[in-house]
């Protein structure tokens, strides 16, 4: 088993995975004020809670979009396991051509998602990752990473709406019964939820037009199961997609 860690802006996903199965997936808050020891305690507690013996972990790998915390997490993992994790970044072998203006600027999470999806699904494909930001990246029929879009995530949009308007409250994200809301809260929920649903469907339509053929669409991230069932396109949800990609990259680079 390897310890696969995906550090996002809001949450850090910690999972145990091998070629046979995913043993656990847990989330902790990403906090730049925490020390390596504090993260080490969190990792140790997760392993104990999931009945994972540290001796069963043969390696570790980290994908991060929060560079200031990279050394903190690497040190934390080493404290717990005695292993120095691989770090997804410039120089790591992915087996995928990244056809971008500046390949080094592409988020490591997007590359890992694309590698995993390409390994399991027919090409071309679109990978949707719904977190703090919503990203949609595209792999063409030849297996090249050719780009995508980045837009504000649901909670970022909702928090921005509430914080910038004097009369709109902070609300929870729930699917309303109808599009035409009868009160302020339902109007806000309908706008955020159905707005994102139709936005994703519309962007898939535009990407399909540029690709010239229907793509496979795969979604991951904490909010994907909340939104994608309402989309008119067929979208495959995979909560473990990024961990699967980290396993593939670990095996290519260990």
- Would you list the DSSP string of 190-231? HHHHHHHHHHHHHHHHHHHHHHTSPPEEEEESTTHHHHGGGS
57 in the same domain as 103: no
Distance CA 40, CA 108 (A): 23
C-alpha to C-alpha distance for 243 and 83, rounded to whole angstroms: 18
Residue 129 labeled ligand binder: yes
pLDDT at 221: 87
Instruction: State the CATH number of the domain containing residue 118.
Output: 3.30.420.40
Domain boundary among 87, 111, 128: 87
Handedness of CA 19, 23, 26, 31 (dihedral sign): negative
- For residue 222, pLDDT beyond 90: no
- 8 carries a ligand binding annotation: yes
Q: State which residues form the domain around 113.
A: 97-246
- 153 labelled binding-site residue: no
Number of domains making up the chain: 2
Domain end point (choices 87, 122, 150): 87
184 annotated to bind ligand: yes
Instruction: Give yes or no for residue 91 having a pLDDT over 90.
Output: no
- The pLDDT of residue 129 is 95
Same domain, residue pair 183 and 230: yes
pLDDT tens digit sequence for 165-176: 878 888 888 888
The answer to whether the annotation marks 70 as part of a ligand binding site is no
CA distances from 153 to 121, 177, 187, 224, 254 (A): 25, 22, 18, 11, 34
Among residues 252, 238, 228, 253, which one has the least CA distance to residue 15? 238
The mean pLDDT of the chain is: 93
pLDDT of residue 82: 95
Question: Could you list the active site residues?
Answer: 109
Q: Structure pTM?
A: 0.89
Tokens linked to 107 = 């988020």
Residue 177 has a pLDDT of 87
What is the secondary structure of 17-64 as a DSSP string?
E-SS-EEEEEEEE--TT--HHHHHHHHHHHHHHTT--GGG--EEEEEE
Confidence of residue 131 (pLDDT cuts 50, 70, 90): confident
Confidence class for position 250, pLDDT limits 50, 70, 90: very high
Residue 162, pLDDT > 90, answer no
pLDDT digits 0-9 by tens, 18-65? 998 999 999 999 999 999 999 999 999 999 999 999 999 999 999 999
- Report the candidate in 220, 231, 254, 252 with the shortest Cα–Cα distance to residue 13: 220
Longest dimension (CA), the chain: 57
For residue 49, give Cα distances in angstroms to 52, 76, 132, 240: 8, 18, 27, 19
Percentage of the chain surpassing pLDDT 70?
A: 100
Do 48 and 124 lie in one domain? The reply is no
Question: Is 131 labelled as part of a ligand binding site?
Answer: no
Instruction: Check whether 12 is labelled as a binding-site residue.
Output: yes
Please give the average per-residue pLDDT across 176-183, as a whole number: 91
217 pLDDT above the threshold of 90? yes
What is the pLDDT, as a whole number, of residue 29? 93
| pLDDT score of 13 more than 90 | yes
């Amino acid at each position: 088993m390897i310890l696969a860690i995906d550090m996002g802006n809001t949450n850090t996903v910690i999972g145990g995975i091998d070629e046979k199965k995913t043993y656990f997936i847990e989330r902790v808050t990403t906090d730049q004020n925490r020390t390596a020891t504090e993260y080490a305690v969190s990792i140790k507690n997760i392993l104990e809670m999931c009945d994972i013996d540290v001796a069963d972990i043969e390696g570790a790998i980290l994908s991060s979009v929060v560079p200031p915390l990279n050394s903190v997490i690497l040190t934390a993992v080493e404290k717990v396991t005695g292993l120095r994790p691989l770090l997804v970044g410039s120089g790591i072998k992915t087996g995928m051509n990244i056809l971008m203006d500046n390949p080094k600027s592409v988020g490591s999470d997007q590359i890992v998602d694309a590698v995993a999806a390409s390994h399991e699904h027919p090409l071309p494909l679109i990978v949707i990752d719904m977190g703090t930001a919503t990203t949609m990246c595209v792999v063409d029929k030849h297996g090249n990473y050719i780009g995508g879009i980045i837009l504000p995530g649901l909670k970022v949009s909702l928090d921005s709406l509430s914080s910038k308007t004097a009369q709109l409250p902070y609300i929870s994200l729930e699917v309303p019964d109808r599009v035409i809301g009868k009160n302020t809260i339902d109007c806000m929920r309908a706008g955020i939820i159905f707005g994102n649903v139709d936005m994703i469907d519309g962007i898939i339509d535009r990407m399909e037009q540029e690709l010239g053929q229907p793509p496979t669409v795969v979604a991951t991230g904490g909010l994907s199961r909340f939104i994608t069932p309402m989309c008119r396109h067929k979208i495959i949800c995979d909560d473990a997609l990024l961990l699967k990609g980290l396993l593939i990259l670990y095996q290519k680079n260990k």
